[in-house]
Chains A and B, each alone.
Chain A
């Protein structure tokens, strides 16, 4: 195109010719700048991994593999093990997902299949707005409102009710502190419910209307349409959305730190205090003294980085598969 514009035969004046050339140079510059910005994202990600790994180096040297298998957490003797934090992170996320996934998917089904049409938009918007509320709000609600009520009115009752039942008496044992693993998981669950339902609803919306209508025309009930048409079609998306939520739950700091109790011991009971990787870092990082202590906290961050990277990468891959199948543009 540029060649045509520069063709002498077209009697282009020198000024215009320069303008075209300048445009071409500006074009290349703009492209280079925007490419640099895109490259910066990759650099940020790699830099993040390198910086955290670098910060963890002292601790990796000092503790070796025992960091992953030991529950010791003694800043005085510089003996550190992340097992209690890893356990707490996994168990709170697992319990939160166990509650939030069915409820979140239930809300999405309610919104797409059951809810009266005029209410769909307002409830949908309300849920999306709630998904954006900062986690610290959930945290202080848990600390000031939920934990005291739970401690006084619900927890003693559960402990008593389970006192004579073999396995349950161990799971729901111990003095009612109010705070602990169970409370943290519950708050986490409430926090990720709007997130799961917002993603799941979007995924359900990718199911072509004709598919559902044909199933209804064959005489299927609503539940049969959901189980046999909607869910099979959107399965990868639902799983992807749930894993995104899991990624959130694993790394969530503020909603958990307030109510987990910060104890570096593994207890069988869900009512006992515990800790998670992010809660440990938030609680102790600015107060830690000594290179090894500091580095041990950063190494916990490194572990969290790997766990959440794996989960988030799987989530993205699944969501991409769904979008490709639905014929949409990737993302």
Chain B
């Protein structure tokens, strides 16, 4: 009897050990590749970065140059997208959390929002192409900003709703007991209580759009020169990286790496700030 039990017991221990080793190996495997990507990005990116990257225009092949116009274009389009998308997302998230928390309509909106949130971004590019570019007959910075806005809205909606749901109902009831109308309760009490979380959502939205390439490729094209004219094609970092990386020129590859590093640093620092805000709120 005892010997049989021992065999079962040993078998269980062995399969457990195997299981632990396998999951540890999976973790090591995944982390190694991610470390490889980051290290080669930092190595190649830093070797391509100099002051010129920030001060000079994108060069023709074989000449020196930088990414100044592309950086400018990206920043401007992202700012417009966040400026336009945040109020809409904030209000829609507010409706879902405050007015229609338990209604059928909100369930539908929530569901569609979650699908938009992970919808392939190239489809958003096609959408804006058909609606904006095809009707105005020109690729433009405005179209690119519109595409980015469509990406920003669902991100802000999701985080706003989640953050407002965390606000204790006691706060709302206290304000209502003082006679405040619903709109005042929302703007003066719940929005304030959830402010850090909402800002986190906006930062995450910026991080999300700063690397988006596909929608810009279909709506803005690109431009080799300094341009502040949003009614026409304008340079942007992701599209520049795409064009330069696909080219056969060595100098352009270097600039592509430098641009990729800039985007990654921007995205990582935005997410880290967002995370710090979130955790400072919890304590």
Contact = CB atoms under 8 A, between A and B. Distances in A.
Interface string A86-106: 000000000000000011111
B120 A103 contact: no
A316 B158 CA distance: 13
A106 B23 contact: yes
Interface in B75-120: 87-92, 94-96, 98-100, 105-116, 118-120
A220 to B, nearest CB: 9
A224 B241 contact: no
Given A54-B130, A244-B118, A331-B114, A134 B263 contact: yes
Contacts of A29: 183
Given A221-B12, A331-B158, A38 B122 contact: no
The 9 closest A-B pairs by CB, nearest first: A134-B211, A251-B120, A106-B26, A223-B19, A37-B91, A30-B183, A221-B16, A37-B92, A110-B27
B30 A197 contact: yes
B121 to A, nearest CB: 7
Contacts of A107: 23, 26-27, 30-31
Contacts of B112: 41-42, 45
Given A103-B30, A133-B211, A223-B20, 18 more contacts: A38-B96, A41-B112, A48-B119, A130-B38, A132-B268, A133-B267, A136-B241, A137-B263, A190-B34, A193-B33, A197-B30, A226-B19, A248-B118, A254-B242, A282-B214, A304-B120, A304-B123, A331-B161
A190 B238 contact: no
Contact of A253 (B121, B208, B267): B121
> Considering residues A123, A247, A285, which has the most beta carbons from chain B within 10 angstroms of its beta carbon?
A285
Interface residues of A, number: 96
Interface of B: 12-13, 15-16, 18-20, 22-27, 29-31, 33-34, 36-38, 40-41, 44, 87-92, 94-96, 98-100, 105-116, 118-124, 126-127, 129-131, 134, 139, 150, 153-154, 157-158, 161-162, 165, 179, 181-184, 186-187, 204, 207-208, 210-214, 217-218, 221, 238, 241-242, 245-246, 253, 256-257, 260, 263-264, 267-268, 271-272, 275
Given A251-B122, A253-B122, A281-B126, A221 B13 contact: yes
Interface of A: 1, 5, 23-24, 26-27, 29-31, 33-42, 44-45, 47-48, 51-52, 54-55, 102-107, 109-111, 113-115, 123, 125-130, 132-141, 143-145, 190, 193-194, 197, 221-224, 226, 244, 247-248, 250-254, 257-258, 278, 281-282, 285-286, 298, 301, 304-305, 308-309, 312-313, 315-316, 329-331
Nearest to B182: A27
Contacts of A104: 26, 30
A301 B123 contact: yes
A219 B238 CA distance: 54
29 contacts: A30-B187, A33-B91, A37-B92, A41-B92, A41-B157, A42-B108, A45-B112, A45-B115, A51-B130, A102-B26, A104-B26, A106-B26, A129-B272, A135-B211, A136-B238, A136-B242, A193-B33, A221-B13, A222-B20, A223-B15, A248-B120, A251-B120, A257-B242, A281-B122, A281-B126, A304-B123, A309-B119, A330-B110, A331-B161
